[in-house]
Chains A and B, each alone.
Chain A
């Protein structure tokens, strides 16, 4: 397909859709589906059919609408309806063009929706993820074909560099720099592009949502990357626990291939690019790039020391570009609208937007995309709606199990890579867990440490044994069995594990402990010296002497 053909198909599709006076978008991403949104969609379609409205009102399944806590969520033109049941279908159709019933109604003006700025998720909740036409109508694949026809690979990289985009997988490495490194590497004719979709942080579902809601976006980003760095094979490594994402991704790849947007001679150029899906078996460590590549190669998913970096020697020893789902999802808009446009969003060093999975003790849980630089307070209280049931805020945990806990006094810090690092946490892939004062910070640290311990791949000693030792010490503390020496040992272990572990999992595993020790040391001391849990969460062992023996 040439650029002209693509634009024509986009125009046709848009025209077709414009014929409808009303559009009802029903979320069919995993969250709402599990709440029965498929039945809601069927009921609405039946209702539309029955009333002979099928030429004026379209009901379409779309990706995530964001506010997962009140699913099934649907959008009736510009208004949202929450907790919709199939029985509501009639009423909703009755009020088409009018404001939905109060019980269901959610205003698009509410801060949760209004304060978001969507780039990555711009199509989520708007297009039907199972139809390539819908994606094309939303300017899909224009960036790819434009790049192939009008730009040199170097120009593509320049655009990405200018955008200031940084890796969304967690570490925030400048994407343009990574691309240019891979582009310069000599692969002897073979290079790879890998999309890391092995999202493993507990409570995080940004990548899943993107894949379920807008799979073509990722494919397009990867193809552009392939063109830029000189690779013609791509892999998407998705965890097997995401069946819906996998299914839509596979469908999207087939559609793109049929449309000539993947495969040989894309868009009539000499550029070939194919994508294969690889499934991960649920090991957290396989999100680490070298472990992920080992897994694709059919080996035990364990990281290896870097250097050499994947850009130099990656998959099968060839130069490999590996980016995360969200990073790839940013590429098409950057090419379409220019790096400068993207660079104008966000802060000086953190450009663009970031998707967060908001969870925990917060009113509005779900997926949000906000410009970099918004304060944590804005995210938690404005967008998130604050703590439910009149509870008091205690901390917000960012960055998943490798992240840290940020206390109330830093709520006005802007959300960007540098600020979070300064606070002892990380941006990570975008998990954000809000905690009310009923949470015991030692217990929280213990929870994350347990995760890291069980997910440690077992290759290097500091992570394998260090996390187990730290977990043991934290358990002792929560049981009221620990001594001041135990606390000292815990701190020494944090330092050692951070500085000596082989990969990011181990290096960041101490973060939840160090950050809670930094901001909530008094809680640790209360458990140790006072044998009490200030939050009332931990049960102290009655007779420590007995327990020890």
Chain B
């Protein structure tokens, strides 16, 4: 390991005393302690952006809720990962994700393997209180092997990050503001015409929903493989000198 002198801190998560290495995030430590914190934009192996707000937790002495994925642990920290208030917020956030685009689980390629569906299930989201925004969105099937279905996109930007940070192509980005935001390829061109895309498929595999999928997969047939990510990350972090 690169650093022999890792500093250890102790903290309390949900009433449980836990120890952690300094520099770890609340998310990492909670997971090690077997405490589930929901998330959507986070994925192990990529940078954290704290955008989906599902992993917000209460930290004693902090006025604001903090994202567990970007907040580093500190000595004596007292963290609450789940209570009435947090559940309520998380449910509403998931509802908003559903209401923003056109999610039709029943016919979706990721039905049954979808992280959004799974989180909704875990959080007990059985309905969406808010009106659906029903945007008219294009479907990009111009790539030979993959499809981009904006109807199922939740703008977690995992694709953007994996392409930039792991593949190094930076084919993906985001354009527009607010609900007009959309993931784009190169300068917002059809995927099939992209010259920067290496066709590696990492974006497809990190996508939590059916927004990015392999072409031709029928309903419920799209499963994502993500094992490559921690592997690549570890290999790159390893100090070979």
Whether chain A touches chain B in the assembled complex (some CB pair under 8 Å): yes
A residues in contact (CB < 8 Å) with B: 283, 285, 300, 304-305, 307, 453-462, 464-469, 472, 489, 492-493, 496, 499-502
Most chain B C-beta atoms within 10 Å of own C-beta, residue among A305, A307, A456, A457: A305
Cβ–Cβ contact A453 & B178, under 8 A: yes
Bound CA span A500–B65, Å? 7
Contact of A500 among B70, B89, B155 (CB under 8 A): B89
Q: Kindly list chain B residues whose C-beta atoms are within 8 Å of the C-beta of A466.
A: 96
Please determine whether A500 and B180 come into contact, CB atoms closer than 8 angstroms. no
- Cβ of B53 < 8 Å from any Cβ of A? yes
Q: How far is the CB of A460 from chain B (nearest CB, A)?
A: 5
- The smallest beta-carbon distance between A239 and chain B, in angstroms, is 15
Judge if B179 is at the interface, Cβ distance under 8 Å: yes
Specify which chain B residues have a CB less than 8 angstroms from the CB of A500 in the assembled complex: 53, 56, 65, 89, 93
- Asked whether A458 and B133 contact (CB < 8 A) given A465-B96, A499-B89, the answer is no
8 Å CB contact of B89 from A304, A453, A455, A496 = A496
Q: Contacts of B52 on A, CB cut-off 8 Å? A: 460-461
Q: Is B61 in contact with chain A by the CB < 8 A criterion? A: no
A462 and B96 contact, CB distance less than 8 A: yes
Are B178 and A462 closer than 8 Å at their CB atoms? Answer: no
Please indicate the chain A residues that have their CB under 8 angstroms from the CB of B154 in the complex: 461
Q: Return A123 CB to nearest CB of chain B, in Å.
A: 37
> Is the pair B96, A283 in contact by a Cβ cutoff of 8 Å?
no
A502 to B51, CA, bound (A): 7
Which of chain B's residues have a CB closer than 8 A to the CB of A455?
Answer: 177-178
In the bound complex, what is the Cα–Cα distance between A305 and B68 (angstroms)? 11
**A-chain residues with CB within 8 Å of residue B166 when the two chains form the complex:** none
Chain B residues in the interface with A (C-beta under 8 A): 49-53, 56, 64-67, 70-71, 88-89, 92-93, 96-97, 99-100, 129-131, 133, 154-155, 173-174, 176-181
Of B51, B56, B66, B96, which one neighbours A469 at CB under 8 angstroms?
A: B96
Q: Shortest Cβ distance from B106 into chain A, in angstroms?
A: 22
Report B137 CB to chain A, min CB distance, Å: 14
**Judging by beta carbons under 8 Å apart, are B53 and A458 in contact?**
no
List of A residues within 8 angstroms of B133 by Cβ: 465, 468-469, 472
B49 to A465, Cβ gap below 8 A?
A: no
Can you list 20 A-B contacts with CB-CB less than 8 angstroms, sorted by A residue number?
A300-B173, A304-B49, A305-B49, A305-B50, A305-B71, A453-B178, A454-B178, A455-B177, A456-B179, A459-B49, A464-B179, A468-B100, A468-B179, A469-B130, A472-B131, A493-B92, A496-B92, A496-B93, A500-B53, A502-B53
Residues B178 and A468 in contact, CB atoms below 8 Å apart: yes
**Beta-carbon nearest neighbor of B48 in chain A:** A305
Query: B53, B71, B174: which contacts A460 (Cβ < 8 A)?
Result: B53
**Which residue of the partner chain, among A454, A457, A458, A461, contacts B97 with CB atoms under 8 Å?**
A461
Asked if A465 and B97 make an inter-chain contact with CB atoms under 8 angstroms apart, the answer reads yes
Return chain A residues, CB-CB under 8 Å to B155: 458-459, 461, 464
Q: Please tell me if the beta carbons of B177 and A499 are within 8 angstroms of each other in the complex.
A: no
Which among A305, A453, A492 is the interface contact of B67 at CB below 8 angstroms? A305
B177 close to A283 (CB less than 8 A): yes
B51 A453 Cβ-Cβ under 8 A: no
Which of A285, A458, A472 contacts B174 (CB under 8 A)? Answer: A458
Q: Could you tell me the distance between the alpha carbons of A467 and B179 in the complex, rounded to whole angstroms?
A: 9
Chain A residues with CB under 8 Å of B64's CB are: 499
With contact pairs A304-B50, A458-B155 given, residues A469 and B181 touching in the complex (Cβ less than 8 Å): no
Alpha-carbon distance between A304 and B50 when the two chains are bound, in angstroms: 7
CB distance from A202 to the nearest CB of B (A): 16
Cβ contacts under 8 Å, B96 to chain A: 461-462, 465-466, 469
- Could you tell me the distance between the alpha carbons of A300 and B177 in the complex, rounded to whole angstroms? 11
Residues A465 and B53 in contact, CB atoms below 8 Å apart: no
Residue of B nearest to A467 (CB): B178
In the complex, are the beta carbons of A465 and B99 less than 8 A apart? yes
A111–B66 Cα distance when bound, in Å, is 47
Instruction: Please measure, in the bound complex, the distance between the C-alpha atom of A501 and the C-alpha atom of B99, giving whole angstroms.
Output: 17
CA distance A453 to B93 in the complex (A): 16
Contacting residues, chain A, for B173 (C-beta < 8 A) = 300
Q: How many Å lie between the Cα of A457 and that of B129 in the bound state?
A: 24
Which B-chain residue is minimally distant from A452 (CB atoms)? B178
> Shortest beta-carbon distance, A410 to chain B, in Å?
24
Distance of B56 from chain A, by nearest CB (Å): 6
Which of B67, B100, B129 lies in contact with A489, CB distance below 8 A? B129
Closest to B96 in A: A465
Q: Do residues B53 and A462 form an inter-chain contact, with CB atoms below 8 A?
A: yes
Query: Do the beta carbons of B179 and A465 come within 8 Å of each other?
Result: yes
Partner of A458, one of B92, B131, B179: B179
- Most central of A300, A459, A462, A499 by chain B CB within 10 Å: A459
B100:A465 contact, CB within 8 angstroms: yes
- Expressed in whole angstroms, the Cα–Cα distance for A478 and B204 within the complex equals 43
Contact A460 B97 (CB under 8 A): no
Distance A46 CA – B141 CA, assembled complex (angstroms): 69
Given contacts A453-B179, A464-B178, A500-B65, 17 further A-B contacts (CB under 8 A): A305-B49, A305-B70, A453-B178, A457-B177, A458-B155, A458-B178, A459-B155, A461-B97, A462-B96, A465-B96, A465-B99, A465-B100, A469-B96, A472-B133, A496-B89, A496-B92, A502-B50
